[in-house]
């Protein structure tokens, strides 16, 4: 028995040291220590060993198992190291890793999303309409007479068909009222187009956010409160907001809204951010005529509307001095908003 154990041990150690890969090593392990392995079977024979030798044979068996197990483990480590080295051949693991580049939202997207979030909290739902509009939705239904300067070819992009690129998002007010019934409380962010000379504060494509609230008893204080709250949420609770009388064909009374802002190192100054007003009853009349009903009866419902320039809001928020930066996609500029 003792010789048998010694022979098993010698053979096992030889096979382990000759193993060329983990597969061969595993085969060697199973052949000795597996259920039907040579050492396992030999150990089963201990019941036939005379009593007085049992202890010595047991010790030998244990020693053999310990040594074989240790040989298996160290051979496995050695084989893994060889495999790792082969896998890394030709690769320099000391080189710095490649950074994972993360993108970020464009500042216009950020300010638009934030504006939407604030207004949705106040109960405004999203609405939209086409950017290629007709004169009716862009002007006539908004009480804008044919000789109004905004309708001039010099100010508006017209197609040969007579359609045009909408000059403001106010057309969505009309499209919404054509199909909804009061109460109506919507916002419509989107592009608007004007034939402006392009400079640091003007582009021919810009972004607006329109708002419309029509219900019973909507009043001027509702308009003021809503927009003051909105602008203070956006620019900080202590932001001063001013309503300056103005004229729009589709609202009466009408206002322009300024916020007072302090740009670093400069005296605080008023900056215009939006136009607004109470929906002119003439607009309701036109809607009712088109719908052939009385859903927007000016004796029963009132409303306010507002439109603001999202590009302008972004420029104010981040102190951007040239609107053209917003469309140039210069990564050095965009990175600052990541
Ligand atoms: N549409 C106007 C503009 O583009 C803004 C406005 C919207 C004014 C709604 C009043 C009400 O200047």
Report whether residue 144 contacts ligand 1, using a CB cutoff of 6 Å: no
* Residue to mutate (ligand 1; options 139, 167, 168; most atoms within 8 A of CB): 168
Q: What integer best gives the mean pLDDT of the chain?
A: 94
**Angle in degrees, CA 220, 221, 226, rounded to 5:** 100
Q: What is the CATH number of the domain that holds 207?
A: 3.30.930.10
Atom of ligand 1 nearest to the CA of 192: 4
Kind plus residue range of the DSSP H or E element containing 220:
helix 220-235
Report whether residue 305 contacts ligand 1, using a CB cutoff of 6 Å: yes
252 marked as part of a ligand binding site: yes
For the chain, the first-to-last Cα distance in angstroms comes to: 76
Q: Report how far residue 220's alpha carbon sits from residue 205's, in angstroms, rounded to the nearest whole number.
A: 31
Q: How far does the centroid of ligand 1 lie from the alpha carbon of residue 48, in Å? A: 105
pLDDT in tens, 77-102: 999 999 888 888 888 888 998 888 88
Q: With CA atoms as reference, report the closest residue to 61 among 138, 4, 124.
A: 4
Report whether residue 227 contacts ligand 1, using a CB cutoff of 6 Å: no
Residues 73 and 118 in one domain: no
Q: How far does the centroid of ligand 1 lie from the alpha carbon of residue 147, in Å? A: 18
Residues 41 and 158 in one domain: no
In a domain, 99, yes or no: no
Residue 103 banded pLDDT, cuts 50, 70, 90: confident
Residues 195 and 316 in one domain: yes
In a domain, 98, yes or no: no
Q: List the domain range (segments joined by +) for residue 267.
A: 111-337
Residues 68 and 149 in one domain: no
pTM > 0.95: yes or no? no
Handedness of CA 111, 117, 120, 125 (dihedral sign): positive
In a domain, 64, yes or no: yes
Residue 47 banded pLDDT, cuts 50, 70, 90: confident
SS (H, E, C) 222-265: HHHHHHHHHHHHHHCCCCEEEEEEEEECCEEEEEEEEEEECCCC
pLDDT in tens, 158-217: 999 999 999 999 999 999 999 999 999 999 999 999 998 999 999 999 999 999 999 999
Residues 72 and 133 in one domain: no
Q: Report how far residue 19's alpha carbon sits from residue 11's, in angstroms, rounded to the nearest whole number.
A: 12
pLDDT over 90 (residue 301): yes
- Higher-scoring residue by pLDDT: 93, 16: 16
Residues 54 and 170 in one domain: no
Domain boundary among 54, 87, 120: 87
Residues 77 and 135 in one domain: no
Residues 169 and 83 in one domain: no
Residues 68 and 159 in one domain: no
Instruction: List alpha helices for 19-50, DSSP H.
Output: 22-33, 38-44
Q: How far does the centroid of ligand 1 lie from the alpha carbon of residue 137, in Å? A: 14
Domain boundary among 87, 119, 153: 87
pLDDT of residue 270: 93
DSSP 97: P
DSSP 96: P
pLDDT of residue 264: 67
In a domain, 33, yes or no: yes
pLDDT of residue 44: 87
> Looking at the 3D structure of the chain, how many domains does it have?
2
In a domain, 34, yes or no: yes
């Amino acid at each position: 028995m003792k010789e048998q154990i010694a022979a098993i041990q010698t053979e096992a150690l030889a096979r382990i040291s000759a193993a060329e890969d983990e597969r061969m090593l595993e085969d060697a392990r199973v052949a000795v220590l597996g259920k039907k392995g040579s050492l396992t079977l030999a150990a089963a024979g201990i019941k036939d060993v005379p009593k007085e030798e049992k202890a010595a044979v047991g010790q030998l068996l244990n020693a053999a198992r310990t040594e074989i197990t240790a040989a298996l483990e160290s051979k496995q480590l050695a084989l893994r190291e060889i495999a790792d080295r082969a896998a890394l051949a030709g690769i320099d693991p000391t080189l710095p890793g490649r950074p994972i580049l993360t993108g970020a939202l464009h500042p216009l997207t950020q300010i638009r999303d934030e504006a939407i979030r604030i207004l949705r909290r106040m109960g405004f739902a999203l609405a939209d309409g086409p950017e290629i509009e007709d004169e009716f939705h862009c002007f006539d239904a908004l009480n804008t007479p044919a000789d109004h300067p905004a309708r001039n070819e010099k100010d508006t992009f017209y197609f040969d068909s007579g359609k045009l690129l909408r000059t403001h998002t106010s057309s969505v007010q009309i499209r919404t009222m054509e199909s909804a019934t009061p109460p109506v409380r919507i916002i419509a962010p989107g592009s608007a187009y004007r034939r402006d000379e392009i400079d640091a504060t003007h582009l021919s494509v810009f972004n607006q956010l329109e708002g419309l609230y029509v219900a019973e008893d909507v009043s001027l204080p509702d308009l003021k409160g809503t927009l003051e709250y909105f602008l203070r949420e956006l620019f900080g609770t202590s932001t001063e907001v001013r309503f300056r009388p103005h004229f729009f064909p589709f609202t009466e009374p009408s206002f322009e809204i300024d916020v007072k802002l302090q740009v670093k190192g400069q005296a605080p100054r008023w900056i215009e951010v939006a136009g607004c007003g109470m929906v002119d009853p003439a607009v309701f009349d036109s809607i009712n005529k088109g719908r052939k009903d009385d859903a927007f009866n000016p004796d029963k419902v009132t409303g306010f509307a507002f439109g603001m320039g999202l590009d302008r809001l972004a420029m104010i928020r981040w102190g951007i001095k040239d609107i053209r930066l917003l469309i140039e996609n210069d990564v050095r500029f965009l990175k600052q908003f990541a």
